[in-house]
Chains A and B, each alone.
Chain A
């Protein structure tokens, strides 16, 4: 069964900490995405990557960075966590090109609380 695995289901961090959210997929997908999900706002794209070492800003990149050193791993970094970054974070992956329109495979999410 293909999988997108997010390393933590729940995470509590202090304001100002540097936070790493890890995502690993085993499907050899080219594309990987990080979203945050907030009630009433749906899913908003933070960053995405089409290939190793490539990254593109999404709709809300401020306060975040990403790293993709290997094809299967896409990390989201909160450089200095703030309370307004308390949210659910979802990672997803997909094939590229004509296969992208078959949709994403999602991880189970990381619920991050910044105190």
Chain B
């Protein structure tokens, strides 16, 4: 079975600062994908970033980047130059390479303080 753990229920960061959200996962699969989703107060879940497990290079999307440590089964999200619009719940998610189903973590509520 796949499990995804987010150990930080709540975090806060000053505007323009950098924050890192943690995620660990457990799987026996060798081929899989990892995701970070953002859920702002509007409730619309938005894909932030996606990582393919077979790629060693960490994914980046503008101010968002990941630190993917496959051996440690760790997939943290770094948000640089935090903006007020980054205030949201962030979910880490896992998908098997041959599957269609996500396994989600319990979420981290991030507040960006002006």
Interface residues of A (CB under 8 A from B): 31, 33, 35, 40-45, 48, 50, 58, 88, 90, 92, 94, 96, 100-104, 106-109
Contact = CB atoms under 8 A, between A and B. Distances in A.
A42 B37 CA distance: 12
A42 B107 contact: yes
A40 B101 contact: no
Q: Most B CB atoms within 10 A — which of A48, A106, A108?
A: A106
A103 B51 CA distance: 11
A42 B44 contact: no
B33 interface: yes
5 contacts: A42-B6, A42-B106, A43-B91, A45-B102, A102-B50
A96 B42 CA distance: 27
Interface stretch (B55-63, B65-73, B74-82, B92-100): B92-100
B2 to A, nearest CB: 11
Lowest 4 CB-CB distances: which A-B pairs, in order?
A106-B45, A42-B106, A43-B104, A100-B100
Instruction: Determine the main DSSP class of B at the interface with A.
Output: loop
B47 interface: yes
Contacts, number: 53
B100 A108 contact: no
A100 B44 contact: no
B101 A48 contact: yes
A18 B105 CA distance: 30
Given A41-B106, A106-B44, A31 B100 contact: yes
A40 B9 contact: yes
Nearest to A42: B106
A94 B9 CA distance: 28
Nearest to B105: A42
B95 A100 contact: yes
Contact of A88 (B37, B42, B43): B43
Q: Most A CB atoms within 10 A — which of B6, B44, B50?
A: B44
